[in-house]
Amino acid sequence: ELEDYYGDVPAAEFGPVRLAELRDLFVASGNTRRVCNQSTRNVIRIFKHAVSRELISVAILEALKTIEPLRQGQTAAPDQQERQPVDLAHVRATAEHLSPIIRAKVVVQLGTGMRPPEVFEMRPCDIDRNGEVWVYRPAKHKTMNKGKRRAVPIVGETRAAITPYLLRGESDCFSPAESYRWHLEQRAESRTTPRSCGNRAGSNRVKNPRWKSSEKFRRDSYRNAVSRAAKNAGVPQWTPYQLRHTTLTHVREALGSEYSQALGGHSTRQMAEHYAKIAEAKSIEAALAAPSIA
């Protein structure tokens, strides 16, 4: 909306009133209050970057900062619904309609409580397999800019699920292209026309298709795959982020909040470096208590 509605407005003339109007557009588009506030902050960050490059006056940035965030009960923007755990029976039913790679991702995420992007970025070279318990240490994670370490135990069903994808060096364990090939193979196997009739398998494919599978999984592609499988299984829709919530809720109820915090990487900023080993030990115990779809 910023470019669409205010692309021709000089930066020096974009003040708090226009920013408030832009935020009203965010609200009118049906976004939640949280998204509206976040989008507004992102606009302010754009101007902050411009100030750092001496492209505009700092006074413009300070004026934009005077905009108060939308408060609960004081705006038409709805509040975001609290994420709920997903029924494990629904996960098991959905898994029956997933490709082997997507199913493995679901198993790994449910057994570790990782965020979807952390699963996307898994590489064999980041998994320490020297000890009795394998430990995945992501090269990138959400809290790395705060100086926090992330150590995710790989045990039980999770270890079995990731094992077939370990001979890939520095490449990602999970490939969307490989998942797409599986779907093509399933489609070929389920064809009703005899192979002696009709088109030869693969002969009618476009040489340069407009759509190609990406090199990496994205949140949308993962979520859409789960959504389609849930629909095919006839169960309520659920999202990959609910898996993380399910695992951490299960661990918290079984062992306590400290273990859920350790497994989820929700360490407090005040945690000292010498507590890292304690947190890792708790996360291993938490991973052993995590739910599974077996």
Average pLDDT, 10 consecutive residues per value, the chain (294 residues): 84 93 91 92 95 94 94 86 84 94 93 90 91 87 64 92 86 83 75 67 62 69 91 94 89 84 65 44 80 81
The pLDDT score that the predictor gives to residue 4 is 82
The pLDDT score that the predictor gives to residue 275 is 36
Nearest to 34 by CA among 23, 50, 20: 23
Place of tokens 């077939």: 164
Q: Which helix (H) or strand (E) holds 268?
A: none
With b for 16 or more beta-carbon neighbours within 10 A and e for fewer, the 256-274 pattern comes to: eeebbbbbbbebeeeeeee
| Pairing relationship of beta strands 127-128 and 134-136 according to DSSP bridges | antiparallel
Q: How far is CA 13 from CA 16, 48, 188, 285, in A?
A: 10, 15, 60, 57
CA 166, 170, 174, 178 torsion-angle sign: negative
Q: Are 168 and 124 in contact (CB under 8 A)?
A: yes
The pLDDT score that the predictor gives to residue 188 is 72
Nearest to 125 by CA among 173, 83, 163: 173
Q: For residue 31, how many other CB atoms are within 10 A of its CB?
A: 18
Q: Which residues contact 76 (CB under 8 A, 6 or more apart)?
A: 27
With b for 16 or more beta-carbon neighbours within 10 A and e for fewer, the 142-166 pattern comes to: eeeeeebebbbbbbebbbebbeebe
The pLDDT score that the predictor gives to residue 53 is 94
The pLDDT score that the predictor gives to residue 39 is 93
Nearest to 59 by CA among 45, 48, 74: 48
Please calculate the CA angle 196-197-201 and round it to the nearest 5 degrees. Answer: 80
To the nearest 10°, report the CA torsion of 180, 186, 188, 194: -170
The pLDDT score that the predictor gives to residue 213 is 61
Structure tokens of 225? 């795959």
